[in-house]
Amino acid sequence: MSQNFWHWLKINFKVTSLLLFINVAIFLITYIFSAFLFAGNDSVSLSLLGAQILPGSQYPFSDFIFQPWRFITSSFLHGGLIHLLFNMWALNSLGFYLEKFYGGKKLFLIYIFTAITSAIASFVVAFIGLVQNNSMAEGVIASVGASGAIFGFVGVLLGNKYLKNKTY
């Protein structure tokens, strides 16, 4: 019986489904932390769970700025239900489509790579803004969401269409 399950899973496993599950599960964990442990303060729960803290945030959040793991964990956190729903709709729409042509391993690598590069771009833009304005923010400036990785999927589609003249 268990061999049949593992065989079925090997054939039907989709990385897009895994990414959707991880994003929704982490959103539920964030919601529980925010509602029950931090009295509805999303900034604190997002910061403690791995949101990317951008330059210009005040102490104690400024201590989190140079933690490199936040470049990846922030792409699995979301600021609200609408944010999550739109990102998961886009991930569902593009992910299964790309996974059919690239396979699960490449899709996962594309997701992680574009999530990290978009987080770095967000960090750099925030740092440039801090230097130009020469001022600190009140509280914390956090960056969350899978939008950067999803726009990476759009970039892969456009790159193949216009650079390789491939259509799907």
pLDDT in tens, 2-49: 666 565 556 567 888 899 999 999 888 888 877 777 665 566 666 666
Query: Across residues 138-165, what is the average pLDDT?
Result: 79
Q: Which of 136, 21, 129 is nearest to 84 (CA)?
A: 21
pLDDT value of residue 110? 92
- CA 109-53-89 angle, 5° bins: 45
Query: Across residues 100-108, what is the average pLDDT?
Result: 87
31 φ, ψ (degrees, to nearest 5): -65, -45
Taking only the tens place, the pLDDT of each residue in 126-150 is 776 665 666 655 555 666 778 888 9
pLDDT value of residue 48? 62
Write down the mean pLDDT value for the chain: 76
Q: Which of 105, 118, 103 is nearest to 155 (CA)?
A: 118
Place of tokens 């990385």: 15
Q: Which of 53, 72, 154 is nearest to 113 (CA)?
A: 72
pLDDT over 90, % of the chain: 12
Q: What is the largest CA-CA distance in the chain?
A: 64
Q: Strands, DSSP E only, in 54-168?
A: 142-143
Q: Provide the token pair at 32.
A: 């529980």
Query: Across residues 153-162, what is the average pLDDT?
Result: 85
Query: What distance in Å separates the CA atoms of residue 104 and residue 96, rounded to the nearest whole number?
Result: 9
pLDDT value of residue 136? 57
pLDDT value of residue 89? 94
pLDDT value of residue 33? 77
| Burial class of residue 165, CB neighbours in 10 A (0-12, 13-18, 19+) | exposed
Place of tokens 């600021």: 79
